[in-house]
Structures are given as structure tokens and as C-alpha cells.
Structure 1
Amino acid sequence: MKNFSVLKNESGFTLVQAVFILVVLAVLGVAMMRLSGIQSSTSIFALQGARAYQAARSGLDWGASRASIGSCSTGSSFAIGGFSISVDCSSQSFNEGSGPYDVYTIKSTATFGSYGSPDYVSRRLEMKVGFP
């Protein structure tokens, strides 16, 4: 006959191993899900940042077209695709060799969402253009 007393003392050891493996697998699963969520939100934020940049760029184009006809004003604002765009313009006159010319400083800020919210994004661009 075999001695079964050794096996009686070790009963439950496999249960401890199984519980440990389940806990480790659960932690790994949660970590992978969080990593996947972070990766997804990072690409969304990058896309929103690119959209904000292009919206601010359109504000610069609008300001330059207004400056070319001499009606560049400060505090203009408009909206495109959910982005709020504000355009500020200032000018300086210079008188050099070939005659007087104006240099316009145009600042465009595009924002989406409200400051402090998770979906908030803002881009600010500035350019100078000169017209004789």
C-alpha cells in the first residue's frame, strides 16, 4: 500500500498557485487595457492638436487678407468646425528707400473646449506681413 499521508498535508497548494496565476493575469489584463486606452486618447489628442493648428493657420490667412486691403482690426473672431478663432492685428508704418510701407503683425489663436476640461486644445500662431 501507498502512503497517502504525504498527499493529505499538501492539499490546497495547487489552489494557491491557481489563485496567484489568476491574480497576475488579471493585473496584466488591466494594465493592457489601460495602455490601449492611453494609446487611443494620445492619437485623438494629436489629431485635435493638428486641427487646432490648421484652424489657427486659417485665422492668419484671414488676417493677412484683411491686412492686404487695409482693414486689419484687433479682436476679430469667428468659428470653424467647433474651434473658436480670435485674430488680433496691429500695424507699424515705416519709411525707407522706396517709400512708406506698413508691416502688420497678425496673431491667431484657435481653441476647442473650455480650459481645464479633458478635451481642451489651443494653438497660437503669429506672423508679420508687409505691404507697400
Structure 2
Amino acid sequence: MMTPRPQAARAAGFAYIAAVVFLVVLAGFALAALRLSESAQATASQQILGARAGQAARGGLEWAFYRLKAPGATCGPVQSVTLTDFVADTGFKVTLTCDMKTYSEGQTPTVAPLMKNVFQLTATACNGTAAVCPDNAAATGADYVERKRSASICIAADGTDCY
């Protein structure tokens, strides 16, 4: 006479397969979470670098405004200056370009000619390795950041503000 086999012996193999499938799915979720975290961290890093580059460009414009307020200050037809002092403080080089137009606005109350200088400034900040910004060679790198700001300022020839 044959004795029947217990049902539990047949079902034991299914539990192992289910456990392996569960572990594979769990590992997939962990890998997806890791990649998502890595991507979020890289995005936050780029945003911080971008903000720092924007502030370095703004600092370059402020430096130029200060220099142009001196009586008789001029700049080229198109003049370019790289501020290397910013590298130690911010990690970014700032290249300034300046274009100046002079206009005669009539006369002052003392009958002297009233000359006004309008300066068009552009500051480009980048963290590349070249001597000037933009750095085309480093632009393909993952950590390269470049920001550009432009501004105009009108200053009378004697260094006073335009009205």
C-alpha cells in the first residue's frame, strides 16, 4: 500500500522562488532610488555653481561701476579685462567687456559743454581653465558653469551721475 505524500512538501519550492523574485524587485527599487538621489545631488550642485557664477558676474559689474565713477574714466571702443582676483575669492574668472559712447547734451549752467558717457558692460563668469571666459574647451565638462550679465551706466564726463 502506498502512503500519500504530504502537500506541504510540494509547496516548499514555491516559497523560495517567491523570495528570490521579491529580493530582485527590492534590489531594483533600491537601485532606482540610488540613481534618483545621485541625479538630484548633481542638479543641486549645478544650481549652487550657477548661483555662485551669477554672483561673480554681478561682482564684476559692480567693480566696473566703481572704476568708471572716477572723473575721466574711459574704456576702449571694445575693451576686455579679465579679473583674476575673483578666482581666489569665488573660484570663478570674470571677463569684462566695455563699450563707451560719448554724447553731447548741451551746456551746463556755467556754459561749459555737458558731455555724457554711456558705458555698455558685459561680465562673463566661468570656472574653466582658460585665461578668459567663455572657456570653449572646458564647456563640454560636466562641472563647467558660465553666467553672463550685462548692464549700462551713464556717467557725466566729470564723474557725476547723468540726469
State TM-score, norm by structure 2: 0.73
Deviations 1:2-23 (A, max 9, x none): 8326445444211211111011
CA distance in 2, matches of 1:97, 1:23: 82
Q: Kindly indicate whether residue 51 of structure 2 is the aligned counterpart of residue 50 of structure 1.
A: yes
Q: Kindly indicate whether residue 71 of structure 2 is the aligned counterpart of residue 88 of structure 1.
A: no
Q: Which runs of 5+ in 2 are unaligned?
A: 108-113, 129-137, 157-163
Q: Kindly indicate whether residue 36 of structure 2 is the aligned counterpart of residue 21 of structure 1.
A: no
CA distance in 2, matches of 1:26, 1:55: 43
Deviations 1:66-108 (A, max 9, x none): 2222143511002323211100001111122553211000100
- Residue 148 of structure 2 is aligned with which of 115, 124, 127? 124
Greater fraction helix? 1
Q: What's the counterpart of residue 78 of structure 1?
A: 83
Is the CA contact 1:109–1:122 (under 8 Å) kept in the aligned structure 2? yes
Deviates more, 1:6-15 or 1:76-85: 6-15
Runs of 4+ in 1 over 6 A off after TM superposition: none
Is the CA contact 1:78–1:84 (under 8 Å) kept in the aligned structure 2? yes
Q: SS state of the match for residue 60, structure 1?
A: helix
CA distance in 1, matches of 2:75, 2:63: 9
Q: Which runs of 5+ in 1 are unaligned?
A: none
Is the CA contact 1:104–1:128 (under 8 Å) kept in the aligned structure 2? yes
CA distance in 1, matches of 2:5, 2:75: 96
Is the CA contact 2:74–2:100 (under 8 Å) kept in the aligned structure 1? no
What is the total number of aligned residue pairs between the two structures? 132
Q: What's the counterpart of residue 42 of structure 2?
A: 41
RMSD: 2.1
Q: Kindly indicate whether residue 115 of structure 2 is the aligned counterpart of residue 100 of structure 1.
A: yes
- Letter of the 2:118 partner, please give it: V
CA distance in 1, matches of 2:66, 2:98: 12
Q: SS state of the match for residue 12, structure 1?
A: helix
Greater fraction strand? 1
- Letter of the 2:28 partner, please give it: V
Deviates more, 1:43-52 or 1:63-72: 63-72
- Residue 112 of structure 1 is aligned with which of 127, 130, 153? 127
